Structure formats: C-alpha cells, structure tokens
Amino acid sequence: MPSQADSRNKLSAWKCRIKSMNTKKTSLGALQRRIDAIKEQLCGLGDLRPGALSQQYNVCGKPGCRCKADPPQRHGPYYQLSWTRDRKSTTRFVRASELPEVRKQIRNYQRLQTLVERWIDLSLEICELKKKGGRE
Ligand SMILES: [Zn+2]
C-alpha cells in the first residue's frame, strides 16, 4: 500500500503531465476563442470602482452617550471606500444603502483586472506560438 505522500507525488506528476500536454495541444484557434470569450465578458461588465471598503466606529460629542459608556458602544459601523488614482488617494463615505451596489462595482473592477491579465497571458502564448510557427 503506497503512503499518502507517494500517491500525492504521483498525482501531482500526473497533473503536470496533463498540463504540459494541454499546453502543447493548444492551437492558435483555441487561444483566440478563449480571448474572444474574455472580450465578451469584458463587454458585459457593469459599473466598476477601484478600491477597498473599510469599516469604522465613531465616538460622538453627546454627553452621556453609549459611545462613552464602560465598555463603550461606539457608533457604526460606517463604511468608507478608499482608492488611488494617478497617485492620489481618495476616501469617500458609503451609505449602508449603497453598500450592495458598491460591493458589486468593486467586484467588477477586480473581474476586469483578472480578465485583462488572462488576456495578456493568452496573447503572449499566441505570440510565442506564431513565432514558433514562423521558424518551422
Ligand atoms: Zn455617541
């Protein structure tokens, strides 16, 4: 009976082989189709926002307020969105009612980044394939 580590090694070697087989088999057409699919997804992206949401809790100026009790129950959470554009960082408060929309916009932005990265990878593969094809 092989040990767990042995079978894990075999499995990963196998996965490696499958991966390299796939890479060799990938044709220009297949790569192009994957890029086309990415373009389609890019077109479907809705509004987007760069940045990250953070939460904060505040203390007010009202005397005897619960935010000054022991232990203090501070007000909040308040949400803010921070992003950097052209080396300038900006922070905006986000209302609780706006949160679902803003979260979606942030996801869209991240999706955009992922899709663009994939596009670049595939495009590099295409360039390499074309170069090889030209040499043969
Ligand atoms: Zn208070």
Neighbours of 18 (CB within 10 A): 10
Query: What would the pLDDT profile of 37-71 be if each residue is shown by its tens digit?
Result: 999 999 999 999 999 999 999 999 999 999 999 99
Going from the Cα of 78 to the center of ligand 1, the distance in angstroms, rounded, reads 13
Query: What would the pLDDT profile of 74-125 be if each residue is shown by its tens digit?
Result: 999 999 999 999 999 999 999 999 999 999 999 999 999 999 999 999 999 9
Average pLDDT over the chain, rounded to an integer: 87
The share of the chain scoring above pLDDT 70, in percent, equals 79
Going from the Cα of 58 to the center of ligand 1, the distance in angstroms, rounded, reads 8
Going from the Cα of 93 to the center of ligand 1, the distance in angstroms, rounded, reads 19
Going from the Cα of 33 to the center of ligand 1, the distance in angstroms, rounded, reads 58
The pTM of this model reads: 0.69
The span from the CA of 98 to the CA of 62, in Å, is 27
Query: What would the pLDDT profile of 68-85 be if each residue is shown by its tens digit?
Result: 999 999 999 999 999 999
Going from the Cα of 80 to the center of ligand 1, the distance in angstroms, rounded, reads 19
If DSSP states are collapsed to H, E and C, what string results for the chain?
A: CCCHHHHHHHHHHHHHHHHHHHHHHCCHHHHHHHHHHHHHHHHHCCCCCCCEEEEEEECCCCCCCHHHCCCCCCEEEEEEEEEEECCEEEEEEECHHHHHHHHHHHHHHHHHHHHHHHHHHHHHHHHHHHHHHHHC
CB 119 within 8 A of CB 109: no
pLDDT of 10 reads 64
Q: Residue 2's pLDDT band (boundaries 50, 70, 90)?
A: low
Domain boundaries, the chain: 30-135
Going from the Cα of 99 to the center of ligand 1, the distance in angstroms, rounded, reads 23
